[in-house]
RNA sequence: GCGCCCAUAGUUCAAUGGAUAGAAUGAAAGCUUGCGGAGCUUUUGAUAGAGGUUCGAAUCCUCUUGGGCGCACCA
């Protein structure tokens, strides 16, 4: 990557610069090499002089000039200039960009980054059995899958896991509902049970009683109901994962980690990390760390979610010696995670250090539009269905086979949803606009898919007309397209490092726009034009980059649409 | 009550403390002999308010206003 090369050059240039080694070190940690938004500021730009001058108490422009002189001549650039308050701008030779283009193949950008050799476990989606798969799960899945693919692409070995609750009151509410309303779906009966639990003392008692029975596993009828429900639930989730393009390496259930968690907390109690509350519950006093108190084992001696999460960490590490454990949840759990991770820092310090909590915002729908007649919450699958219907309506007049149409509907709908989730920084709420998400123009998944498809048909035309891709004859001046294509590896690395797929989304959207612009200005396939082979090769490079990029977001490309 | 997060063009989003705050969409105007016009070009328009730190603040600090979330036995 060119950015790394520039960094090395700068490092070398300031090696025998005035100041102490410690000062130099800290400057090297802080400085950055960026692609400036304004192209008149060069292809790459660094703020090293601004950082150094601050530490040295010198004029930044003078420092910049000095560094520029130290760098001297280098074939990579045709020009270096000092600009503004003291930026050093690098203008890269076209030859470099063309050489990069030549190396764009289907592995372009792969495993170049910083994750090489690392073992990462990533936990996302996390629906609970017998409950609905809701929009939050859809968000978690989109984020988790994309990050997984980015880490893998950067060279990490990734284990995808999904942690789900299969015991407790939630399950009891659903089973209680199922007993009362045999023919209703699990999602429905759960809602029914949950409502009854809140509203009727009698029902509440029954559900608590039932919860014990489920736990004891003594009643064959209840056992059967539970087993069937669990199986059906998991099958149902599996269908959704297939559609979304996720394949988990392991499903971990709450029941598998409860005892482990309890033991960890009991040991922690002996070590005085935890303490006993008034009524016998085992608690962690978060106030010592500026947080709040949470219960890890309740007064009945049962481990809570907190304890189970400790068990989960140990369980995960037992099966896979990870370097990093990434957990993705909605951000309403942020404060909870702070306390739990702080406690983990005391009882499982090594694992706590390796754990990274990433939280996403809510997917909000335009008011009224989606709430169905029954007033139920919108589920993840009904969202997918609704978007599919809209896409279906949109392409109904195309001359395509039924089979082709179905493929397009699914790819475009999923692409639209994933794009909407991933296009902005994780953590903030998303206002989901149905029409915008499936729009073929502007800021959307389908726009990228369309740009891909159109480029693809250009290549098909080239094939028909016998124009072969070649970089032998290159134009005198290259365009933004060649330059932008070369940024791809850097963008992926940044997305992975910062756990932010939106950098990639923004990049691909810009790239698609630039390609569309190129396409509008140049005739790509033209037998009589000596530059046509080059343009075909450039189009092929765009196609591969776009395909890889979309794949990293979990979005499929289409040959026709 | 306490804590955490958030506030940027009409709208939806960008911007490791850096250069003239970028896109998309909307609105207005234009482009088509040439591959999928579902495209391209141009114009329009914003940092919630008040202080402070800094050579430099949308970004850091304080206060105000307006939102979201969380605070002992749910997950």
Q: Is the pLDDT of residue A122 over 60?
A: yes
Of A524, A534, A515, A420, the C-alpha closest to A476 is: A534
Phi then psi dihedrals of residue A123, to 5 deg: -115, 115
pLDDT per residue over A15-54, tens digit each?
877 667 777 888 888 888 988 878 888 899 999 998 888 8
Does residue A463 belong to any structural domain of this protein? Answer: yes
Cα A341 to Cα A291: distance, rounded to the nearest angstrom: 11
Residues, chain A, total? 561
Q: How far is the CA of A165 from the C1' of B32 (A)?
A: 59
Q: How far is the CA of A512 from the C1' of B9 (A)?
A: 23
Q: How confident is the model at residue A73 (pLDDT cuts 50, 70, 90)?
A: confident
Residues 6+ apart with CB under 8 A from A111: A153, A154, A155
Lowest mean pLDDT among A16-30, A423-437, A495-509: A16-30
pLDDT score, position A370: 42
Q: What is the mean pLDDT of residues A482-503?
A: 94
Does residue A197 belong to any structural domain of this protein? Answer: no
Using CB atoms within 10 A of its CB, is residue A496 exposed (0-12), middle (13-18) or buried (19+)?
A: buried
Q: Give the mean pLDDT of chain A.
A: 91
Residues 6+ apart with CB under 8 A from A31: A10, A46, A47, A48, A51, A52
Does residue A501 belong to any structural domain of this protein? Answer: yes
Residues 6+ apart with CB under 8 A from A302: A262
**Which nucleotide, over all strands, has the C1' atom closest to the CA of A523?**
B34
Lowest mean pLDDT among A129-133, A362-366, A411-415: A362-366
Phi then psi dihedrals of residue A134, to 5 deg: -100, -175
How many CB atoms are located within 10 Å of the residue A76 CB? Answer: 18
Q: How far is the CA of A167 from the C1' of B25 (A)?
A: 46
Instruction: State the total domains in chain A.
Output: 2
Q: How far is the CA of A550 from the C1' of B10 (A)?
A: 31
Q: How confident is the model at residue A377 (pLDDT cuts 50, 70, 90)?
A: low
Q: Which residue do the tokens 């300031």 mark?
A: A14
Check: CB of residue A361 under 8 Å from CB of residue A430: yes
List own/partner pairs for A79-83 with CB under 8 A and 24 or more apart: A79/A42, A81/A42, A82/A49, A83/A41
Residues 6+ apart with CB under 8 A from A374: none
**Which nucleotide, over all strands, has the C1' atom closest to the CA of A331?**
B69
**Which nucleotide, over all strands, has the C1' atom closest to the CA of A424?**
B13
Does residue A248 belong to any structural domain of this protein? Answer: no
pLDDT per residue over A431-448, tens digit each?
999 999 999 988 899 999
Q: What is the mean pLDDT of residues A371-379?
A: 53
Phi then psi dihedrals of residue A329, to 5 deg: -140, 175
Q: Is the pLDDT of residue A369 over 60?
A: no
% of chain A at pLDDT higher than 90: 69
Check: CB of residue A344 under 8 Å from CB of residue A312: no
Check: CB of residue A487 under 8 Å from CB of residue A35: yes
**Which nucleotide, over all strands, has the C1' atom closest to the CA of A54?**
B55
Q: How far is the CA of A75 from the C1' of B19 (A)?
A: 26
CATH number at residue A515: 1.10.730.10
Residue where a domain terminates, one of A92, A108, A133? A92
**Which nucleotide, over all strands, has the C1' atom closest to the CA of A30?**
B16
- Domain with A531 in it: 380-553
Check: CB of residue A447 under 8 Å from CB of residue A441: yes
pLDDT score, position A18: 65
Of A251, A254, A216, the C-alpha closest to A237 is: A251
Residues 6+ apart with CB under 8 A from A125: A137, A140, A141, A144, A162, A241, A246, A248
Which residue places its CA closest to the C1' of nucleotide B68? A429
Using CB atoms within 10 A of its CB, is residue A127 exposed (0-12), middle (13-18) or buried (19+)?
A: buried
Q: What is the mean pLDDT of residues A126-152?
A: 95
Q: How far is the CA of A335 from the C1' of B52 (A)?
A: 30
Q: What is the mean pLDDT of residues A384-390?
A: 94
pLDDT score, position A230: 95
Check: CB of residue A131 under 8 Å from CB of residue A170: yes
Residue where a domain terminates, one of A92, A112, A145? A92
Does residue A150 belong to any structural domain of this protein? Answer: no
Which residue places its CA closest to the C1' of nucleotide B20? A38
pLDDT score, position A215: 84
Higher pLDDT, A377 or A195: A195
**Which nucleotide, over all strands, has the C1' atom closest to the CA of A281?**
B73
pLDDT score, position A368: 41
pLDDT score, position A367: 57
**Which nucleotide, over all strands, has the C1' atom closest to the CA of A45?**
B19
Beta partners for residue A275, in sequence order: A283
pTM of the model: 0.95
B strand bases under 7 Å from protein CB: 3-6, 12-16, 18-20, 22-26, 34-41, 55-56, 68-75
pLDDT per residue over A279-312, tens digit each?
899 999 999 998 999 999 999 899 999 999 999 9
> How many Å from the N-terminal Cα to the C-terminal Cα in chain A?
34
Phi then psi dihedrals of residue A459, to 5 deg: -65, -35
Cα A309 to Cα A433: distance, rounded to the nearest angstrom: 35
CA A435 to chain centroid, in Å, comes to 23
% of chain A at pLDDT higher than 70: 97
- DSSP label of A39: G
Q: Is the pLDDT of residue A371 over 80?
A: no
Pairing of strands A157-164, A119-123: parallel
Q: Which residue do the tokens 């169905």 mark?
A: A372
Does residue A328 belong to any structural domain of this protein? Answer: no
User: Token pair for residue A144?
Assistant: 């988790």
Residue where a domain terminates, one of A75, A92, A109? A92
Cα A318 to Cα A307: distance, rounded to the nearest angstrom: 17
Cα A314 to Cα A311: distance, rounded to the nearest angstrom: 5
Does residue A79 belong to any structural domain of this protein? Answer: yes
Q: How far is the CA of A193 from the C1' of B38 (A)?
A: 47
Which residue places its CA closest to the C1' of nucleotide B37? A520
pLDDT score, position A163: 97
DSSP string, A465-500: HTPPP-SSS--SS--HHHHHHHTHHHHHHHHHHTT-
Q: Is the pLDDT of residue A344 over 70?
A: yes
- DSSP label of A120: E
Q: What is the mean pLDDT of residues A312-329?
A: 97
Rounded to the nearest 10 degrees, what angle do helices A305-319 and A254-270 cross at? Answer: 100
CATH number at residue A45: 3.30.1360.70
Which residue places its CA closest to the C1' of nucleotide B32? A520
Does residue A156 belong to any structural domain of this protein? Answer: no
Check: CB of residue A503 under 8 Å from CB of residue A491: yes
Cα A404 to Cα A406: distance, rounded to the nearest angstrom: 5
Q: How far is the CA of A408 from the C1' of B26 (A)?
A: 28
Check: CB of residue A296 under 8 Å from CB of residue A327: no
Q: What is the mean pLDDT of residues A134-141?
A: 94
pLDDT score, position A306: 97
Cα A110 to Cα A235: distance, rounded to the nearest angstrom: 33
């Amino acid at each position: 990557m060119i950015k790394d090369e520039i960094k090395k050059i700068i490092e070398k240039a300031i090696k025998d610069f005035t100041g102490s080694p410690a000062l130099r070190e800290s400057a090297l940690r802080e400085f950055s090499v960026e692609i400036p938004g304004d192209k008149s500021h060069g292809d790459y730009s660094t703020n090293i002089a601004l950082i150094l001058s601050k530490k040295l108490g010198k004029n930044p422009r003078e420092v910049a000039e000095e560094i520029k002189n130290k760098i001297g001549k280098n074939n990579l650039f045709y020009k270096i200039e000092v600009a503004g308050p003291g930026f050093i701008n690098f203008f890269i030779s076209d030859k470099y960009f063309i050489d990069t283009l030549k190396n764009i193949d289907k592995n372009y950008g792969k495993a170049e980054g910083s994750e090489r050799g690392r073992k990462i476990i990533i936990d996302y989606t996390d629906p609970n059995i017998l409950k609905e798969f809701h929009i939050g799960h859809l968000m978690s899945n989109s984020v988790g899958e994309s990050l997984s693919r980015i880490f893998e692409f950067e060279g990490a070995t990734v284990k995808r896991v999904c942690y789900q609750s299969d015991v407790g009151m939630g399950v009891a509410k659903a089973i209680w509902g199922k007993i009362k309303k045999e023919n209703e779906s699990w999602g429905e009966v759960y809602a029914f049970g949950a409502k009854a639990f809140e509203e009727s003392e009698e029902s509440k008692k029954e559900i608590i009683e039932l919860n014990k029975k489920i736990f004891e596993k003594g009643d064959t009828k209840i056992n059967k109901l539970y087993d069937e429900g669990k199986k059906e639930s998991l099958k149902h989730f599996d269908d959704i994962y297939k559609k979304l393009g996720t394949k988990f390496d392991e499903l971990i259930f709450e029941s598998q980690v409860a005892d482990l968690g309890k033991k960890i907390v009991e040991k922690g109690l002996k070590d005085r990390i935890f303490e006993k509350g008034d009524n016998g519950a085992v608690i962690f006093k978060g106030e010592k760390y500026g947080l709040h108190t949470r219960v890890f084992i309740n007064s009945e001696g049962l481990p809570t979610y907190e304890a189970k999460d400790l068990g989960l960490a140990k369980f995960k590490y037992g099966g896979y010696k990870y370097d990093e454990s990434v957990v993705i949840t909605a951000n309403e759990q942020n404060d909870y995670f702070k306390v739990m991770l702080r406690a983990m820092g005391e009882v499982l310090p090594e694992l706590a250090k390796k754990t990274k909590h990433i939280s996403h915002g809510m997917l909000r729908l335009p008011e009224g539009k989606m709430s169905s007649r029954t007033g139920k919450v919108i589920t993840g699958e009904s969202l997918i269905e609704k978007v599919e219907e809209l896409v279906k309506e949109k392409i109904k007049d195309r001359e395509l086979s039924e089979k082709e149409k179905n493929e397009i509907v699914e790819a475009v709908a999923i692409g639209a949803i994933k794009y909407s989730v991933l296009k902005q920084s994780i953590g903030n709420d998303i206002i989901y606009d149905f029409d915008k998400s499936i729009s073929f123009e502007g800021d959307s998944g389908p726009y990228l898919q369309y740009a891909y498809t159109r480029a693809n048909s250009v290549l098909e035309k080239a094939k028909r007309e016998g124009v072969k891709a070649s970089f032998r004859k290159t134009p005198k001046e290259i365009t933004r397209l060649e330059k932008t294509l070369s940024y791809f590896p850097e963008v992926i690395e940044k997305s992975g490092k910062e756990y932010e797929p939106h950098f990639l989304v923004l990049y691909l959207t810009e790239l698609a726009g630039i390609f569309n612009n190129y396409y509008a200005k140049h005739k790509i396939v033209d037998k009589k034009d000596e530059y046509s082979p080059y343009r075909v090769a450039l189009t092929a490079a765009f196609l591969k980059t776009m395909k890889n990029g979309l794949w990293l977001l979990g979005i499929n490309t289409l040959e026709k649409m």
